[in-house]
Amino acid sequence: MYPALLLTHNALRWLILVVGVLAIVKAGQGLTGRRPYAAARRLGVIFMALLHVQLLTGLVLFVISPLVRTAMTDMQATMADGAVRFFIAEHPTLMVIAVAVMTIGSIVAKNAPDDVRRHRKLLVFTTVTLLLLLAGIPWQRALVPGLGG
Ligand code: HEM
């Protein structure tokens, strides 16, 4: 189960990044006031759903990963080793914050008084989420699932 989950977690990252960029483009197009919010909202919701699936796979990985299990046996050594600490501390923390920002943003945008402001809020929150994701992704690992890294 672990290799399949790690593969899924790896590949899903690309889908999330592509949908995130599309959501930003769609939200940006809505700033002119000539587009209804529905299309941008749909992409925002898909982005959020994918993030929640990734959060779930990440949480399961955190429980079953041999890397995490080994790291937990000596937390002092783990915290002193930046490469290992990244998967125990920085990566999960940044990603949970990113998912929370997007979840809050989706609600805030939906509740804005008009479509231009809905688009603007979606644009800002999705951009911040994407930046947090880019900062938290372990780019040192395999870029293509199962290959190298
Ligand atoms: C939500 C956005 C997230 C993205 C885009 C993301 C992305 C990634 C990527 C690309 C990898 C490298 C996979 C590989 O080496 O093949 C990875 C590894 C990992 N992620 Fe995430 N992740 C996310 C959230 C999380 C969360 C919330 C947790 C934990 C609570 C988590 C836990 C882990 C762990 C433990 C590993 C390393 C597993 C191992 O090597 O054994 N991830 N993540």
Please write the tens of the pLDDT for every residue from 13-52: 999 999 999 999 999 999 988 899 999 999 999 999 999 9
Contact 101, 132 (CB under 8 A): yes
Contact 101, 60 (CB under 8 A): no
Q: Establish if 143 belongs to a structural domain.
A: no
Alpha carbons 70 and 84: distance in angstroms, whole number: 10
123 alpha carbon to ligand 1 midpoint, in Å?
Answer: 25
Angle, CA 135 vertex, CA 133 and CA 138 arms, to 5°:
90
Q: Establish if 149 belongs to a structural domain.
A: no
Q: Establish if 147 belongs to a structural domain.
A: no
58 alpha carbon to ligand 1 midpoint, in Å?
Answer: 5
Nearest CA owner, ligand 1 atom 12: 10
Quote the number of domains for the chain. 1
Q: Establish if 128 belongs to a structural domain.
A: yes
27 alpha carbon to ligand 1 midpoint, in Å?
Answer: 27
Alpha carbons 21 and 46: distance in angstroms, whole number: 12
Its domain, for residue 120, covers: 2-136
Q: Establish if 97 belongs to a structural domain.
A: yes
DSSP-based three-state secondary structure for 149: coil
pLDDT score of 8 more than 70: yes
91 alpha carbon to ligand 1 midpoint, in Å?
Answer: 7
Could you tell me which of 72, 96, 71 has the C-alpha nearest to residue 84?
Answer: 71
Neighbours of 115 (CB within 10 A): 18
| pTM: predicted TM-score of the whole model, two decimal places | 0.94
Per residue in 88-146, pLDDT (tens digit) is 999 999 999 999 999 999 999 999 999 999 999 999 999 999 999 999 999 999 999 87
Q: Establish if 124 belongs to a structural domain.
A: yes
Contact 123, 27 (CB under 8 A): yes
* Residues in the ligand 1 pocket, defined by CB under 6 Å: 6, 9-10, 13, 16, 51, 54-55, 58-59, 61-62, 65, 67-68, 87, 91-92, 95-96, 99, 133, 137-138, 141-142, 149
Alpha carbons 86 and 118: distance in angstroms, whole number: 35
9 alpha carbon to ligand 1 midpoint, in Å?
Answer: 6
Q: Establish if 9 belongs to a structural domain.
A: yes
Q: Establish if 30 belongs to a structural domain.
A: yes
Alpha carbons 109 and 116: distance in angstroms, whole number: 10
